Structure 1
Amino acid sequence: MGADRGIHVEVSGKDYESLGPLQVSKIMAALAKKEEAQLIILGKQAIDDDCNQTGQMTAALLDWPQGTFASEVSLDGDNVKVVREIDGGLETIRINTPAVLTADLRLNTPRYATLPNIMKAKKKKIANVKPADLGVDLTSRLEVLRVDEPPQRQAGMKVETVEDLVAKLKDAGKV
């Protein structure tokens, strides 16, 4: 909502199947350089593999400062004030632009599009690019050798007293 244009990066086939956080980070970094972006806002973590790596890798590839887990963001000239949630409460940091931010779920309050705005959005220009157009190699450095189910757990047993527990542990050679 409110964008003047969009960019769709088209990845398909084998490249799509092996796409990981590093490859997405390379694409984002290349786009940021091409578009001369000053601020990149990404989600906190992926819903498929729960990695929480793309934002940090993008910042590293660009050598830009990063604000992760942002729950509140305000711009002040060339600075970005980021309030982020940490284990002990909230932390406020100030970083210079260009910067990479990862958004916590509290950052956004959804706005619902009205029909006139949906119609306007259909007229917006969306450029299609391929990773090769950006000079990005999507070759994965990871190879899945195999996937195994965990071994079946043995059934447990109930004991009446601590003495019974100690005896069972001794019988099993655990004590």
Structure 2
Amino acid sequence: MKILVPVKRVIDYNVKVRVKSDGTGVDIANVKMSMNPFDEIALEEAMRLKEAGKATEIVAVSAGVTQCQETLRTGMAIGADRGVLIETTAELEPLAVAKLLKALADREQPQLIILGKQAIDDDSNQTGQMLGALLGWPQATFASKVVLEDGKVTVTREVDGGLETLSLSLPAIVTTDLRLNEPRYVTLPNIMKAKKKPLETIKPEDLGVDVTPRLKTLKVAEPAKRSAGVMVPDVATLVSKLRTEAKVI
């Protein structure tokens, strides 16, 4: 069984994000980039399914600039068998990514697509759902447990009221939550092995997909700075300030 795992190149989660002075976007010049953490979880889950004998091949796919090859090499060091880069300099929106993945899924014919529930740069949380709609496949989002057996995938997902368990017929789409697993560390031997694994580069035009942006960003601004806290001598003063200054009671 083949598993397709989309991975996204994002600003590393340890980096303090800076907005460009002209407000046109986020400054990524000389900034450390890495794989989206939710996608690391998706790739780790695919690896565990393969190690359990449930899958035979894992294909990592990324869409974006040439530097996304580094992200794919990291994915192959984690354990993906090969990588596919859909190279484009266009600013990709969730719908465009979903269309690219749909076209690639039509070509690769995977039985399962596992992807992170969202990317930490735009937090859209849309690509998995859009891909499910385009493919017409069943989907389970925010997975905290995945069990694959008897041609079905059983997914436990976190909802407001507790846990929900879904059984999906294959092929299917699963998006991962933080508590699904703990991604493994990439070892030096696996990094060296990843350099020899096949990495295919294609263009959106090869898949017949138009990735022209449909949205226009008018302005990007940093959140307003929070004011410093105030120490109060007693509860009466606190209540008074909440009533007269904060006006929350």
Runs of 4+ in 1 over 4 A off after TM superposition: none
Max Rg structure: 1
Distance 1:82 1:70 in 2: 6
- Of residues 57-66 and 111-120 in structure 1, the stretch that sits farther from structure 2 once superposed is 111-120
Q: Which residue of the partner structure matches residue 63 of structure 1? A: 136
Distance 1:122 1:142 in 2: 37
The one-character-per-residue Cα deviations of 1:40-70 (angstroms, maximum 9, x if unpaired) are 1111112122111000000000010001000
Aligned: 1:41 with 2:118: no
Residue aligned with 1:19, SS: coil
For 1:12-161, list aligned pairs within 5 A.
12=89, 15=90, 18-144=91-217, 146-147=218-219
- RMSD (Å), alpha carbons: 2.4
Equivalent AA in structure 1 for residue 94 of structure 2: P
Distance 1:136 1:104 in 2: 29
What's the CA shift for 1:79?
Answer: 0.4
What's the CA shift for 1:141?
Answer: 2.1
Question: Structure with the greater relative contact order (CA < 8 A, sep ≥ 6): 1 or 2?
Answer: 1
Distance 1:115 1:140 in 2: 39
Distance 1:40 1:115 in 2: 27
What's the CA shift for 1:148?
Answer: 8.3
Change in CA separation of 1:108 and 1:58 when aligned onto 2, cut-off 3 Å:
same
Equivalent AA in structure 1 for residue 80 of structure 2: A
* Aligned length in residues: 151
Q: Which residue of the partner structure matches residue 8 of structure 2? A: none
- TM normalised by structure 2 equals 0.56
Equivalent AA in structure 1 for residue 215 of structure 2: L
Gaps of 5+ in 2: 1-77, 225-238, 245-249
Equivalent AA in structure 2 for residue 10 of structure 1: E
Between the two proteins, what is the percent identity of the paired residues?
Answer: 59
Aligned: 1:4 with 2:87: no
Equivalent AA in structure 2 for residue 105 of structure 1: L
Equivalent AA in structure 1 for residue 172 of structure 2: A
- TM normalised by structure 1 equals 0.78
Distance 1:54 1:101 in 2: 11
Gaps of 5+ in 1: 153-159, 166-175
